[in-house]
Structure 1
Amino acid sequence: MTRVGVLRGLAWAMGYACVAIGLFHVLLGNAAIPGAGSAGPTVDSFGRFMGAIFAGYGLAWLWAVRQSPVPAAAVRVLTAVFLLGGAARLLSLAVEGRPQWFQLLLAAVELGLSPLLWWLADSEEKTAVTACGPSAGKATDSA
């Protein structure tokens, strides 16, 4: 599979997964968070709100992957947000201690996948420039 294929595949997967996970949190509230079932209405409200934000994050991935070429700047901004989420989990681990095992798995995915997404971000834009040549889109004088 080419770099462009991997970028597009991961972007589609990120988009759909984030929308699904976000909506899962909106619908289930505390029940969607391992160990938070009895956390109360404040945590439930926060979790549902963050679920809506996460669904919007997924929609941003789906918007980006529908562009041709996939915009590297958008992929890098979305990847930076993903990496920040992983870093926030590490901060929580340091401050509050070890969370439920699935949260550790999510942190590993966020921290491990971010460098790959960053590296792939401009692969389709580079392919488009190479295919069209460096002078693509420039006016030429022909008399």
Structure 2
Amino acid sequence: MIERRALQLMVAIACLVPLTVGGLSILRGPGWIGHPPMIPRDLDSHFRYVSGIFFGLGLAFTTCVPGIERKGPRFRLLGAMVVCGGLARLVSLAAVGVPGRGMALGLAMELGVVPLLMLWQSRVERFSLSPSGERVAER
């Protein structure tokens, strides 16, 4: 199914964001995104911790790529986690102002791209089932 393959490709490409950004953030800390190299240790620790979660989320999403039509519950859970992060980022936007370009792109991904991928995955999952609810063989 062409739609299934296209979804797999888009999810795989989207996974590059948390894997790359999360990985760089773990290794380099907040300095690589333009912050002073010396920040409070607790803030550095928290930044790297959250970055590790972000990296892990990318790894978890990659496990959805093979057989994506059968990974609905996992995909929705992971997507809901991303949307929660985007909502938290929205709170920051309201509290302290518009973030830099990279963070604004993250917000667009979290509250735009990921929900659209969730809807697309649901569609692919639905069309992979026969009318009786059984899985349809790959074509």
TM-score range, shorter chain: 0.7 to 0.9
CA distance in 1, matches of 2:68, 2:105: 33
CA distance in 2, matches of 1:103, 1:116: 19
Which residue of 2 is the match for residue 29 of structure 1? 29
TM-score w.r.t. length of structure 1: 0.79
Q: CA deviation at 1:36?
A: 5.3
Larger radius of gyration: 1
Distance 1:88 1:69, change over 3 A: same
Alpha-carbon shift at residue 92 of structure 1 (Å): 0.3
Matched AA of 1:73? P
* SS of match in other structure, 2:15: helix
Map Cα deviations across residues 81-107 of structure 1 (whole Å, 9 max, x no partner): 111121111100111222223212221
**Pairs aligned (count):** 135
For 2:30 and 2:115, the matched residues in 1 are separated by: 31
TM-aligned CA deviation for residue 135 of structure 1: 6.5
SS state at 1:17 partner = helix
Q: Is the 8 A contact 1:16 1:62 kept in 2?
A: no
- Whether 2:96 is the aligned partner of 1:96: answer yes
User: Which residue identity does 2:10 align to in structure 1?
Assistant: L
Unaligned 5+ segments in structure 1 are 138-143
Alignment of 1:40-119 (within 5 A): 40-67=40-67, 69-119=69-119
Deviation at 1:123?
3.0
- Verify the 8 A CA contact 1:70 1:124 in the aligned structure 2: no
Kindly provide the amino acid, as one letter, of the partner of residue 34 in structure 2: P
RMSD over aligned CA atoms reads: 2.3
Aligned counterparts of 1:44 and 1:33: Cα–Cα separation in 2? 13
Distance 1:18 1:70 in 2: 23
Residue 57 of structure 2 is aligned to residue 18 of structure 1: no
User: Kindly tell me: are residues 77 and 46 of structure 1, through their superposed partners in 2, closer, same or farther at Cα, counting changes over 3 Å?
Assistant: same
Partner of 1:134: 132
Change (3 A) 1:45 1:10: same
Structure 1 vs Structure 2: percent identity of aligned residues? 28
CA contact (8 A) 2:25 2:48 kept: yes
Asked if the contact 1:29–1:48 (Cα under 8 Å) also holds between the matched residues in 2, the reply is yes
Aligned to 1:125: 125
- Give the Cα separation in 1 of the matches to 2:64 and 2:106: 23
C-alpha contact 2:4 2:124 (8 A) present in aligned 1? yes
Larger mean Cα displacement after TM superposition, 6-15 or 57-66: 6-15
Contact kept? 2:89, 2:107, Cα under 8 Å: yes
